[in-house]
Amino acid sequence: MHRIFTKSYSLLLLLSLCSSWYSPLQANIRLPQLFASHMVLQRDRPIPIWGWANPKETITVTFKGQTQTVVAGKDGTWRITLKPEPTGGPFDLSFKGKNQIVLQDILLGDVWICSGQSNMEWEVEDSENAPQEIANAQFPQIRHFKINKTLAIIPQSDVPSGGWNICSPETVAKFTAIGYFFARELNQQLHIPIGLINTSWGGTMVETWISKEAFAQNPDFKDMIADLPVIDLDSLSKVKKATLNKHVLRLQGPFSDSSMISQWKNLNYNDSNWPSLIAPGNWETQSLGEFDGEVWLRKTFELDSADHIKDALLRLAKIDDWDETYLNGVRIGGMDRYTFLRKYAIPAGLLQKGKNVIAVKVTDTGGGGGIWGDASDLFLTMDQIQLSLAGAWKFQVAKISIISHGIGPNDYPTLLYNAMIAPLIPAGIKGAIWYQGESNANRAEEYQKSFPLLINDWRKRWNQGDFPFYFVQLASFKAQNGNSKQGSTWAELREAQTKTLQLPHTGMAITTDIGNPEDIHPRNKQDVGKRLAALALNNDYGQATICQGPTLNAMTVEGNRAILSFGNLGTGLMTKDKYGYLRGFEIAGADQKFYYAKAWIENNHVVVFQENVPAPVAVRYGWADDAGDNNLYNQEGFPAPPFRTDNWPGITAGRKYKIKP
């Protein structure tokens, strides 16, 4: 699930008419899923409300002393706009036609869209200090609406399911973590209701969140979107499943029945005819390819002796998504968190002299699949002995996932805009928070255009002006171990995010200092939420506080030293290093060869120096996939974002998004 995935097809299928979630044959008033009890309506601005009914049916809407009547059109649709209302609640919102609907416990506050890929989707229960956070989550003014994952080839009028949850220890575990910690900060500071609309999907590219019209009207993308084929989702799903079946048959032969599969965990089962793959490593990059479903992995190893073995432990790195793990036919563990390291204690006496077999049933629901992570985390320990399990594992497909083998969200542009953004428009909102970019890192230069396109597109479709749009810059992660020497896609993506700040009413939370170089999903979502909230509190709620870190203004050269000046100093530059050393700085001359540099703070400037660069031309800071060394802050504790002073071509230059046939 954490991997970028792109799928291609050899067929272009004819378009079948895609209906919205509403059918005019349905009788009486019906409301969008978004309109439900416990919802938060946007305060202090006109309140759009819409729905469906019988053609020409009269609908009366009543809310907080306001009453409006509207007649449904020939297609059964209707819409009204209530006058702005101040903060408050709870209230009832009632609808009367041939039937009557009363929504209860409606609050007036600020509504924020929470969108992006897996780091926005990441839930409170998987975050740092989750048990304590959940136990203390008694914030009834925070409400969360989760949109279930769905795709569409044309804009939809509703989402298939949903519902508003009041924040409590019983509900908060499944909230978007960043959204919750953002909302908690706002609620505690402002004492107003906060509504979160969580529309996110792990592993997704920015292009799937942008409308077709935006692409068509943009000179950089209009030729691309002209290649968008007409498709029939149901037919395409059948074709893809048939193609995958043929692929699996070529790899391993016919599928086994349940009685045979039940033997795969056993010590003496003969797997000599099974194909092999390498672990750790997602199977999408190996012979199995793009696959979701159930796969068994087996590893055989020999022991010279099993006498006196105690405290044996099996470590299986990480498994995407779920596993059930057996040793010599006995289940020893299982987990449904694809970013967690597997550590399973082996019962005494289970290991034996001679042949032993580890069998792992892996269930993959989308994106990457299999054992992944570092080879150093894949081993068996017995007393003082450590046996590496990295390398070839036998595998066998048990079944293909039927549900997930339609098209994926990255297969074509616009799919998630159509299904998970368009149905929310024109709901009143305060703004949006966004965490995405990992899946676009290989086309980072193009992201300089596609990401601003998304922001402008959403603002245009909502027609609520330049509403606040705050986003998270990519955290530190050893994606491809990129750096200045070999190039860094993640550094270039962060640069694209920084350049997006040229758009009005945008802001960026820097997270290079609170990431995890070993995990693309750092668990510290608390500080991410707080930094996003700091932007909103300063820009939108009148709290004149420092909300961002130092940003580069200019570089001057004095002899063999580069002198950097900064804006957003707050009360001054600082480093958390107790000796005052700055890290993460590199310097280069005209030969474009970068050297790790000495750097220090002097009169609220940064001085950068390296003996091998007598005539500095360029400085870079944090120019790497893993920028965790960065330690330049202002006194208020906000980190400086990575930057470079040069404009030399990067490794993503010229890479373009293309629709695959």
For the segment 490-500, what is each residue's pLDDT rounded down to a tens digit?
999 999 999 99
Region 417-443 average pLDDT: 97
**Is the separation of the CB atoms in 126 and 182 below 8 Å?**
no
Over 90: is that where the pLDDT of 183 sits?
A: yes
Amino acid, single-letter form, for residue 24: P
Global pTM value: 0.84
**Helices assigned H by DSSP within 142-294:** 177-190, 212-216, 222-226, 233-252, 258-261
The predicted model gives 93-98 an average pLDDT of 96
In this prediction, residues 159-180 reach a mean pLDDT of 95
pLDDT, residue 5, reads 30
In the predicted model, what is the mean pLDDT of residues 547-554? 97
In the numeric block, which tokens belong to residue 445? 């230069």
Task: Tell whether the model's pLDDT for residue 502 goes beyond 70.
Answer: yes
pLDDT at res. 402: 59
Is 376:387 a contact under the CB 8 Å cutoff? no
| pLDDT tops 90 at residue 424 | yes
Contacts of 28 (CB under 8 A, 6+ apart): 53, 54, 57, 97, 98, 99
Question: Which of 240 and 28 is assigned the larger pLDDT?
Answer: 28
pLDDT at 403 over 60: no
Proportion of the chain above pLDDT 70, given as a percent = 95
Residue by residue, DSSP assigns 45-63 as: S-EEEEEE-STT-EEEEEE
Q: Is the Cβ–Cβ distance between 569 and 551 less than 8 Å? A: no
Q: Does 4 have pLDDT greater than 70?
A: no
Q: Which residues contact 73 (CB under 8 A, 6 or more apart)?
A: 55, 56
Least confident of 158-162, 218-222, 330-334: 158-162
Predicted pLDDT at 406: 63
The pLDDT value recorded for residue 58 is 97
pLDDT of residue 215: 98
Backbone region of residue 370 per phi and psi (left: phi > 0; alpha: psi in -120 to 50; beta: other values): left
Q: What is the pLDDT of residues 48-65, one digit of tens each?
A: 999 999 999 999 999 999
pLDDT at 140: 98
pLDDT at 38: 98
Per-residue pLDDT reduced to its tens digit, 596-647? 999 999 999 999 999 999 999 999 999 999 999 999 999 999 999 999 999 9
Q: State the chain's mean pLDDT as an integer.
A: 92
- Is the model's pLDDT at 239 over the cut of 80? no
Look up tokens 């694209």; give the residue. Answer: 496
Q: How far is 433 from 438, CA to CA, in rounded Å?
A: 16
Residue for token pair 């200092």: 513
**Dihedral sign of CA atoms 154, 160, 165, 170 in order:** negative
Q: Is the dihedral of CA 50, 36, 211, 453 positive or negative?
A: positive
With a cut of 60, say whether residue 16 has pLDDT above it: no
Residue 308 scores a pLDDT above 80: no
Taking CA atoms, 446 is separated from 122, 415, 473, in Å, by 26, 19, 16
Q: What integer pLDDT is reported at residue 27 of this predicted model?
A: 55
Tell me the pLDDT band of 19, cut-offs 50, 70 and 90.
very low
Report, as an integer, the average pLDDT of 253-266: 93
Residues whose CB is less than 8 angstroms from the CB of residue 309 and which lie 6 or more positions away in sequence, other chains included: 348, 351, 382, 383
Place of tokens 């027609």: 463
pLDDT, tens digit, 9 for 90 and up, residues 373-400 = 889 999 999 887 889 999 999 999 998 8
Overall average pLDDT of the 289-309 stretch: 89
pLDDT at position 9, please? Answer: 28
Contact by Cβ (8 Å): 194, 141: yes
Find out whether 72 and 26 touch, Cβ atoms under 8 Å.
no
